[in-house]
Amino acid sequence: MEAAYPCYVKIHYMGATRTTTGSMYLVEVNGHRILPECGLYQGRREESIRRNREFSFDPTTLDAVVLSHAHIDHAGNLPNLCRKGYQGNIYSTFATRDLCAVMLEDSARVQLADSQHVSRIDAFSGHAGRSELIGYVKSLSGSLRKITVIHGEECASLAFGQALQVLKPQAEVVVPQPGQILEF
């Protein structure tokens, strides 16, 4: 059976493209604009801030938002979407709605704690790239006695530890093994 009118569909991929976080698509169907997913991008601090702060579309022009599930990388940017002017319906299952309420509140708490932590350490980020981390260590005045690398994948932590040993030879550089317990 043929449609009574031609169907026009256009899909814009705006998140989780070449990555697995920040799922967001804009679907245009016969003049309607639907946003399936409104995920929070999680990655390096500066890139995350840039990607999550602005949308490449005007949220006030959306007709609906549809959520497949409550994971933060699929629903975590909803508060920002609403701050930017979206006032329409958000469609989901009851379970997704209930879990989203808990997940978004927890996400806000984590983001607030993270921003407070970063401001206390002068905007240094554990999610910075290798060159940024080394630049930060170089900028430290005085002599460091001990540096403990406690974040990152094992191979990256080992490489960073080796770079630190060259950069700050007077300091003891500790790169714990997975599961190792350190006492300070």
* Prediction pTM value: 0.60
**Strand partners of residue 91:** 66
pLDDT in tens, 80-130: 899 899 999 999 999 988 998 888 888 888 777 766 555 444 433 445 566
Residue carrying structure tokens 């170089």: 138
pLDDT in tens, 132-147: 666 767 766 566 677 7
**Domain 9-120: CATH superfamily, name plus number:** Ribonuclease Z/Hydroxyacylglutathione hydrolase-like (3.60.15.10)
Supply the pLDDT for residue 124: 38
Supply the pLDDT for residue 156: 65
Give the C-alpha separation, 42 to 172, whole Å. 32
Give the C-alpha separation, 117 to 72, whole Å. 21
Q: What is the 8-class DSSP label of residue 38? A: B
Residue carrying structure tokens 């579309």: 57
Supply the pLDDT for residue 22: 86
Q: Where are the domains of the chain?
A: 9-120, 130-174
Pairing assessment for the beta strands 24-29 and 32-36 based on DSSP bridges: antiparallel
Pairing assessment for the beta strands 24-29 and 9-15 based on DSSP bridges: antiparallel
